[in-house]
Structure 1
Amino acid sequence: MESYKKFGSFTMAYSIKADPHFSQFVHGAGSIAYQDVHGVRIFVGDPFCRAEDATPLVEAFIAETRRQRLSLVGMQCSMETARLFNGFGCDATHMGVETLILSDWSMKGKNVGRRIRKAFKSGLTISEARWDSDTTLAQQAEKISDSWRSTRKAKKALGLLLREPTFKDTPDERTFFAWLDHELVGYVTFEAMYENNQRIGWYANINRRDDSRNIAIFDAIVATALASFRIEPGFQSLSLGIAPLAGMHNTHGFSNRVVELITDTSFKFGNDGYNYKGIFQSKKGYWPKSFEQNPNQVEVKDTYCITSGIMPVNPVAKAFMGVGILPDGLMQTALFATKITAMGMWREFMDNSRFSPAPLWRALTT
């Protein structure tokens, strides 16, 4: 974990260093975390190295991937990493936006502020605790987690991009719990982000809650955790993670047009398969109305998907199978994508059309 403490300034740093399923490609004074899934080499986030060591590391990583005859897909990468890989012939397509709450953030004037105040008025209480502080805590949390999973559009755990709860105390993690009427209703585990051996922030990675309560459990936890984190020496930001496929800004000149078409279509019409728009709107509730007038409240970062080749549809599909967004098998994926897109297009048509099928149906069935 030494390189994590030096170079783990991005949100996925802790997860990919702590996850035993990730391998480490080491070259010179740096490393890149990756997994080989369905014949695709997938890496997440940025290289663990100094800026001056990044170019030879990326060059060696690409060369080794080609020697292994594997396709290459990178996810949730920064613009700096996108430019590095583009220098060796790869494309970088916009993958989504990450919202980071900065030290001057306040609820005033934010849509999320109303939700947070309402949650506290409902009697919600938030407390930070260790997992071993209560012998029943893990059991209660696991019940919340199982119930939460059953309500998700994507039933599979999103491996690679989101870490599953362990219900154990580990270094560089802190967990805040939400209680209502003395009952556990949610929790968020935050992972530390580092730079030059100094902790600079936290990432809200593991988020579980009882949605039947219809109150802003996650947002109330974030507000409470932020109040604790922001007084720590060196604090810079609390990351809410990415809103996948949101905020397309492929103006840098090296996106892959095929991947761009797929991601744009998925965001616009694929909400029945994955809650792209809902996640984006939830995180957008933290944004100020004017970034220019409130420059130290929120930072929004673009993230990128790295691919190689003109038509990387197959490796990208397999990568999303590995993540858990798409079902295993190319045929199953094609059928799933076609069904979800058709449903989304029909809903979009109905929402923007004066046509109503009800009179036609009544006429046909009379």
Structure 2
Amino acid sequence: MSQHAVALERRIAADLSHHDTARRAAVLRQYGGHALSFCTMQPGMSYFEVPGVGYIAFAKYWGMRFALGEPVCPPHLRDAMLTAFVDRYPDAVFVQVGKGVVDHLHARHGYYGTQFGSESRLDLATFSLRGARKQVIRTAINAARADGIEIREGGFDHDVRRISDAWIRTRRCKNNEIRFLIRPMIVDYREGTRYFYAYRDEEAVGFVFFDPLYRDGRLVGYVPNISRSSANFRQGLWYALMAYAIARFQEEGVPCVDLGLTPLMLSDGIEPQESRLLRATLSVIRERMDFLYNFKGLEFAKSRFQGQVEKTYCCHRNALPALAMTAMFRLTRII
């Protein structure tokens, strides 16, 4: 066990059921730079906490534990946090983590690290709406303007439930909001969140909620976590809302926008630590089970912004974790 891991073991609280939201929020504001960091504050999560260092958020389902994103802690203590967590929960599954986490879990603990999707990040210092591939965004902005849409930032409005419920009924995952990988729309902890609304005749017809990203105690960006539009409004309003918000962030000097996970957007090559069985299964789900979730539509929409794409992974013990994958899809309410 490394020196860092030994030091962390000495600091782990004996009663992991005792949590301090304010303490976690302070850690989040210091080290919450992952696209899912803010989602770790959603209701129903459990926490593996090291007082004074950080935490790993996880959900329990069907007797299994699913760690959400990467540890929220100082970067140099990440591997020690992972080792301490795996020592306590040796069969945990890690969802939406980067290559650094994969390499540690594979080399140290024998985990598979299989690509689960991709993330895309926009450098706002250089971002613009020029270029052929961004024509769809420019067209959406013009269409919204022609339809009398006004976009503006505001506070949290509980009336968004009306739009959301109508929107969900049009989705392939009907009746329930997706959870875990996406935080609930209405949560108790909202510090630093931003809300952009589209209005027509002063009636809200769509919105995008952004969660903050932090590094070294500084705000470094936002991630769009919740987006909805009226079922009566044609497609494209999301582009107009995103473009408006990005322009506002650029004016404020915000460094980046992370577009978050595009599930099952997979590269062609297979890395040595990946499970070929799981990769083949995920490819089949993407190609033949689009009725579960609009995988290709989301990939197309996010790709229009031409961000810097990075792979994201799921770390698991078994070559074909069929039960764990089924449990995760149930946990997220995709099935």
> Residue 119 of structure 1: CA displacement?
1.9
Match of 2:328 in 1: 319
> Are the counterparts in 1 of residues 212 and 219 from structure 2 also a CA contact under 8 Å?
yes
Using the aligned pairs only, state the percent identity.
24
Match of 2:145 in 1: 120
Query: Taking structure 1 as reference, are residues 3 and 303 closer, same or farther at Cα in structure 2, changes over 3 Å only?
Result: same
> Residue 20 of structure 1: CA displacement?
3.0
> Residue 175 of structure 1: CA displacement?
0.3
What is the rounded CA distance, in whole Å, between the counterparts of 1:27 and 1:118 in structure 2?
51
Q: Which residue among 301, 304, 317 is the counterpart of 2:313?
A: 304
Match of 2:19 in 1: none
Q: Which residue among 182, 192, 196 is the counterpart of 2:216?
A: 196
Aligned length in residues: 304
What is the rounded CA distance, in whole Å, between the counterparts of 2:143 and 2:106 in structure 1?
47
1:145 is paired with a residue whose SS is: helix
Match of 1:237 in 2: 256
> Residue 152 of structure 1: CA displacement?
0.9
Query: Taking structure 1 as reference, are residues 278 and 199 closer, same or farther at Cα in structure 2, changes over 3 Å only?
Result: same
Q: Which residue among 278, 294, 306 is the counterpart of 2:297?
A: 278
What is the rounded CA distance, in whole Å, between the counterparts of 1:117 and 1:188 in structure 2?
18
> Residue 121 of structure 1: CA displacement?
2.6
> Residue 248 of structure 1: CA displacement?
2.8
> Residue 178 of structure 1: CA displacement?
0.3
> Are the counterparts in 1 of residues 119 and 311 from structure 2 also a CA contact under 8 Å?
yes
> Residue 209 of structure 1: CA displacement?
0.7
Query: Aligned partner of 2:118: which letter?
Result: V
> Are the counterparts in 2 of residues 45 and 76 from structure 1 also a CA contact under 8 Å?
yes
What is the rounded CA distance, in whole Å, between the counterparts of 1:318 and 1:210 in structure 2?
31
Q: Which residue among 165, 169, 173 is the counterpart of 2:193?
A: 173
Deviations 1:134-173 (Å, cap 9, x if unpaired)? xxx423x211011001111012321111122228893111
Aligned ranges 1:41-80 → 2 under 5 Å = 41-66=65-90, 71-80=91-100
What is the rounded CA distance, in whole Å, between the counterparts of 1:127 and 1:319 in structure 2?
36
1:75 is paired with a residue whose SS is: strand
Query: Aligned partner of 2:153: which letter?
Result: E
| TM-score (structure 2 length as normaliser) | 0.86
> Are the counterparts in 2 of residues 94 and 249 from structure 1 also a CA contact under 8 Å?
no
Deviations 1:84-137 (Å, cap 9, x if unpaired)? 211211111111111222212111121322222222232211010113xxxxx4
1:265 and 2:284 aligned:
yes
1:8 and 2:18 aligned:
no
Query: Taking structure 1 as reference, are residues 215 and 124 closer, same or farther at Cα in structure 2, changes over 3 Å only?
Result: farther
2:92 is paired with a residue whose SS is: strand
| TM-score (structure 1 length as normaliser) | 0.79
Query: Taking structure 1 as reference, are residues 151 and 241 closer, same or farther at Cα in structure 2, changes over 3 Å only?
Result: same
What is the rounded CA distance, in whole Å, between the counterparts of 1:249 and 1:153 in structure 2?
27
> Are the counterparts in 2 of residues 119 and 220 from structure 1 also a CA contact under 8 Å?
yes
> Are the counterparts in 2 of residues 94 and 250 from structure 1 also a CA contact under 8 Å?
no
Query: Aligned partner of 1:2: which letter?
Result: A
Query: Aligned partner of 1:194: which letter?
Result: Y
1:138 is paired with a residue whose SS is: coil
What is the rounded CA distance, in whole Å, between the counterparts of 2:45 and 2:251 in structure 1?
33
Aligned ranges 1:335-346 → 2 under 5 Å = none
1:212 is paired with a residue whose SS is: coil
**CA RMSD between the two structures:** 1.8
Query: Aligned partner of 1:9: which letter?
Result: G
Match of 1:108 in 2: 130
Match of 2:61 in 1: 37
1:231 is paired with a residue whose SS is: helix
> Are the counterparts in 1 of residues 140 and 237 from structure 2 also a CA contact under 8 Å?
no
1:159 is paired with a residue whose SS is: coil
What is the rounded CA distance, in whole Å, between the counterparts of 1:167 and 1:37 in structure 2?
21
Query: Aligned partner of 1:226: which letter?
Result: I
Query: Taking structure 1 as reference, are residues 194 and 159 closer, same or farther at Cα in structure 2, changes over 3 Å only?
Result: same
Query: Aligned partner of 2:230: which letter?
Result: D
Q: Which residue among 115, 122, 129 is the counterpart of 1:94?
A: 115
Q: Which residue among 84, 87, 98 is the counterpart of 2:104?
A: 84
What is the rounded CA distance, in whole Å, between the counterparts of 1:175 and 1:167 in structure 2?
14
Query: Aligned partner of 2:213: which letter?
Result: M
Q: Which residue among 183, 205, 209 is the counterpart of 1:185?
A: 205
> Are the counterparts in 1 of residues 166 and 231 from structure 2 also a CA contact under 8 Å?
no
Aligned ranges 1:216-255 → 2 under 5 Å = 216-233=236-253, 235-255=254-274
What is the rounded CA distance, in whole Å, between the counterparts of 2:223 and 2:324 in structure 1?
28
Report the structure number with the largest CA radius of gyration.
1
What is the rounded CA distance, in whole Å, between the counterparts of 2:30 and 2:187 in structure 1?
27
What is the rounded CA distance, in whole Å, between the counterparts of 1:168 and 1:318 in structure 2?
26
Deviations 1:191-215 (Å, cap 9, x if unpaired)? 0000011000001001111143114
